[in-house]
Amino acid sequence: MEKIQQEFITASLLHGIAQLARQLAKPEYRLEEIFPTAEHGELIKLLASDWKDLPAHQSNRSKILYYATKIAAGKRVGEKLSEPGREYFQLALASIFNIVNLRNDPKDTGNCRMNFFYPPVQLKNKRQPIHPQITADQNREVFEQALSDLQAALLTAMKDECLADKLLSLLEENFSYLPSSYGDELNNVSLFDQVKITAALSSCAEQYLQDSQAEQKILDLEEQFYQEKMFALFSMDVSGIQKFIYTISSKGALKGLRARSFYLEILMEHLVDELLERLTLSRVNLLYSGGGHSYFVLPNTEKVKEKVSDFEKAVNQWFLKVFGIALYIGTGYAAASANDLLDNPQGNYSNLYREVSKQISAKKMHRYSAKDINELNQRKHKEKRECIICRRMDSLNAEEECMICAQIKNFSQYIVDNVMTDGSNHVYAIVKDSEQGVPMPFAKRLLAVEKAEKTKIIRKYIKNQSVEGYDAVTKLWVGDYSAESEFKKLAQNSQGIERIAVFRADVDNLGTTFVSGFQKQDGQGSYSNLARSSTLSRQLSLFFKYFINRIVQEPKYRALCGSGRDYRQISIVYSGGDDVFLVGAWNDVVEAAVDLRNEFQKFSQGRLTISGGIGLYSPTFPINVMAEEVADLEENSKGFEGKDAISIFDAENAYHWQEFTEQVMEDKFAKIKHFFDHSEERGKNFLYNILELFRNSSERINIARLVYLLARLEPTGEAKEEEKSKYQDFSKQMYDWIREEKDRKQAITAMYLYIYLTREKEAD
């Protein structure tokens, strides 16, 4: 990317913040003062721009920036862009979830959850989820600190070759929970999202207008600028991710799972950066990336269309060569005007998502050309055998592994051990002209940076760390908490039965939410626009790729085990845009699943829900079968009316989350646990007999058998009155539960949980 483009993107990112900095009336906070005039004259001019209306004499870049700022602020043709004043510092960022899925809640009058705000904080100082709150706190103190931190970082970052990407990370760390400087009455777009979208639109408009034959006419007429199809919503979708991760042998399975998951994470980010580099754009144009999906806003030019088409073909050819038909990338492209991005008229914005989704689905149905299929059929497998890990036919090493699986396995040490021997965090490098590392598309390799030759490094990535102090590095949010590196150790650290559990879940109806989730409650109108959908997707990414680490690590919900360890015996195998795959000590997984759901409810204000499944397994059970079975349990939960459900151990033990926590855990399980924990005379056989009668209660004789069993074991006259009373209460409870289908089902689940919790560990 040329320096002049970098300067324009930098100006677009900083202009809104520079305007606010001037409102502080402190010379030391003026952003334009820190850039040397001789090197950054154009940048300084743009930062100093202060407009109420668009002066005709301003430069074309200034006009583009003005229009981009208006669109990012949600302003339509003819609406004024009011300058931010000192009253800004009295404001708080409103929650984006205030306006999500309003039509799905008939009880909501439009007011009860419309007034939540985020506390003004710097994201880099937070590890716990940042939940919306009722109070609206002033932001001046946090803004000044964020501005000061930004200035200090800029002094070293301004010479960075990838300044735009570095600056983007710095802005996210510091301004994610401060309100937009051009907020409307809803005020639910952050300052970071505002400037990011402004920069994305500026860079697109500049490229489009450079190719246009009517640049000046478009720039001089606001209505023309808004009508011109100068933008495009573009999406990439990689299929086969789940199979790629979970089709793996049991030997070293947990390390292998996490390594394959992280490899795909980096591969997707590498594809993002390779595409943007070919289009001479930066990460400001990336709206979302996670779970194998990504969305961009691009310039709608013939050059861009040609390049994305060539890119798609090249990636799929590489996938075929390296992975066969295991992975496939499909793309969708929809031209858009500024009016479309502002959902004017209503429905235009959601139609963009429908169009790209339709194109991707069509490509998935017809993945390969006749030539591709012929070449696949012509491949000779002579002297090739099945890889012990991925089961593809290939040339194998002495350990019966194909080249790519062996390289991913070797790379796993840099993922499992995130910290190097000197205490610093691993940095991951994409390199060229190297035989070392794991293969990446476009003749690149993935290495830990300490293993890479500096002259061959193309780009670098870090996980969950501030970019401050790093040179030319891209930060990735990654769910990577892991207590152990082996299934066996996780099982040994479980309470009761020595088993692991797998939890799989994802957000319910998320696609529908992005397409139509911003409709007003009465259906008459919509809050949809590019900035709001970007804000929502980023919040979800933060939850499932960053905050999730602390959620699953630190126990809050302890209804199963009571007090215990300060950290959970769990490993995050995969956590994408909205998908989660956890494995760990079975009791920790059950409680962590509830914590994750509860935290997500608070995080999204109940506007979004998750459904999932939990399976119980021996640590030696094949992981690919675990993944398939728990996927079926997750699908079973999705079949519940309203979803928001969990299927635990099998499809019969399935509940809405609230029923599971309140009726199964806090009622049935708690009562069963209390009785048997304080009853030395009546042990496991008594409970097993009750469970068997409950499971077969459709035979009416079994209800009579339960009455007989309970009466036969009733304390005798020599027992204390307190003991008799407790037993009578327990007996009555059992009798009441077995007669009601709903109670009977809940009690069976509770008994299973108690039996597993108190099972003695097997001797070695």
Which residue bears the tokens 């630190």?
Answer: 554
Same domain assignment for residues 223 and 238: no
Q: What is the pLDDT of residues 209-257, one digit of tens each?
A: 998 877 888 998 999 999 999 999 999 999 999 889 988 866 668 988 9
d(CA 704, CA 701): 5
Q: What is the pTM of this model?
A: 0.93
Q: Look at residue 561 in the predicted model and tell me its pLDDT.
A: 86
In a domain, 598, yes or no: yes
Q: What is the pLDDT of residues 485-535, one digit of tens each?
A: 899 999 999 999 999 999 999 999 999 999 889 998 877 788 999 999 999
In a domain, 480, yes or no: no
Task: Identify which has the larger pLDDT, 141 or 452.
Answer: 141
Q: Look at residue 453 in the predicted model and tell me its pLDDT.
A: 82
**Angle formed at CA 556 by CA 552 and CA 560, multiple of 5 degrees:** 95
Lowest mean pLDDT among 138-142, 376-380, 577-581: 376-380
What lies within 8 Å, CB to CB, of 561 at 6+ separation is 495, 587, 591, 757
Q: Look at residue 261 in the predicted model and tell me its pLDDT.
A: 93
Whether the pLDDT of residue 560 is over 70: the answer is yes
Confidence of residue 110 (pLDDT cuts 50, 70, 90): very low
Same domain assignment for residues 428 and 355: yes
Same domain assignment for residues 464 and 545: no
- Do the Cβ atoms of 605 and 98 come closer than 8 Å? yes
247 secondary structure, DSSP code: -
Same domain assignment for residues 392 and 448: yes
Q: What are phi and psi of 329, to 5 degrees?
A: -115, 130
Whether the pLDDT of residue 116 is over 60: the answer is yes
In a domain, 712, yes or no: yes
Q: What are phi and psi of 105, to 5 degrees?
A: -120, 95
Same domain assignment for residues 67 and 149: yes
Q: 528-542 burial, b for 16+ CB within 10 Å, e for fewer?
A: bbbbbbbbbbbbbbb
In a domain, 657, yes or no: no
Q: Look at residue 51 in the predicted model and tell me its pLDDT.
A: 66
3-state secondary structure 526-576: ECCCHHHHHHHHHHHHHHHHHHHHHHHHCCCCCCCCCCCCCCCCEEEEEEC
In a domain, 184, yes or no: no
Pick from 651, 680, 701: which residue ends a domain?
651
CATH number for 521: 3.30.70.270
d(CA 7, CA 43): 6
Q: What is the pLDDT of residues 685-725, one digit of tens each?
A: 999 999 999 998 777 888 999 999 999 888 877 778 888 88
In a domain, 257, yes or no: yes
Q: What is the pLDDT of residues 257-290, one digit of tens each?
A: 999 999 999 999 999 999 999 999 999 999 999 9
Same domain assignment for residues 679 and 627: no
Q: What is the CA radius of gyration of the chain?
A: 29
| Helix 670-677 vs helix 741-758: crossing angle, to nearest 10 | 50
Task: Tokens for 7, please give them.
Answer: 């300067």
Residue 348's CB is within 10 A of a number of other CB atoms, namely 17
Pick from 451, 473, 495: which residue ends a domain?
473
Mind giving me the DSSP string for 263-290? HHHHHHHHHHHHHHHHTT--GGGEEEEE
Same domain assignment for residues 417 and 343: yes
Q: Look at residue 216 in the predicted model and tell me its pLDDT.
A: 82
Lowest mean pLDDT among 279-293, 458-472, 599-613, 633-647: 458-472
Helices (H), 176-229: 191-211, 215-220, 222-227
Residue 28's CB is within 10 A of a number of other CB atoms, namely 11
Helices (H), 574-715: 586-603, 623-638, 657-659, 670-677, 684-695, 701-712
- CA dist 68 to 44, 74, 281, 374, 573, Å? 18, 10, 16, 48, 40
CA atoms within 13 A on the CB side of 479: 31
CA atoms within 13 A on the CB side of 599: 24
Mind giving me the DSSP string for 295-326? EEEEE--HHHHHHHHHHHHHHHHHHHHHHTTS
Which residue bears the tokens 């029923």?
Answer: 659
d(CA 546, CA 172): 13
Lowest mean pLDDT among 409-413, 533-537, 758-762: 758-762
Mind giving me the DSSP string for 102-152? GGG-TT--SSTTS--B-----GGG--S----BS-----HHHHHHHHHHHHH
Same domain assignment for residues 533 and 423: no
What lies within 8 Å, CB to CB, of 603 at 6+ separation is 97, 129, 131, 132, 539, 543, 547
Which range of residues forms the domain containing residue 447? Answer: 231-473
Residue 173's CB is within 10 A of a number of other CB atoms, namely 22
Q: What is the pLDDT of residues 294-316, one digit of tens each?
A: 999 999 999 999 999 999 999 99
Q: Look at residue 391 in the predicted model and tell me its pLDDT.
A: 81
- The DSSP element (H or E) to which 744 belongs, if any, is helix 741-758
Report the number of distinct structural domains present in the chain.
4
Sheet of 645-648: strand order equals 570-575, 579-585, 500-507, 610-617, 645-648, 654-656
Same domain assignment for residues 457 and 588: no
Q: What is the mean pLDDT of the chain?
A: 90
Q: What is the pLDDT of residues 166-215, one digit of tens each?
A: 899 999 999 999 999 987 789 999 999 999 999 999 999 999 999 887 78
Which residue bears the tokens 């036969």?
Answer: 712
Same domain assignment for residues 423 and 461: yes
Q: Measured in whole angstroms, how far is the alpha carbon of residue 668 from the centre of its chain?
A: 34
Mean pLDDT score, 341-366: 96
Whether the pLDDT of residue 103 is over 90: the answer is no
Residue-level length of the chain: 764
460: three-class secondary structure by DSSP? strand
In a domain, 607, yes or no: yes
- Do the Cβ atoms of 389 and 248 come closer than 8 Å? yes
d(CA 326, CA 319): 8
Pick from 596, 622, 651: which residue ends a domain?
651
Same domain assignment for residues 605 and 752: no
In a domain, 455, yes or no: yes
d(CA 333, CA 351): 12
d(CA 531, CA 194): 7
Same domain assignment for residues 550 and 625: yes
d(CA 175, CA 194): 10
Mean pLDDT score, 637-666: 97
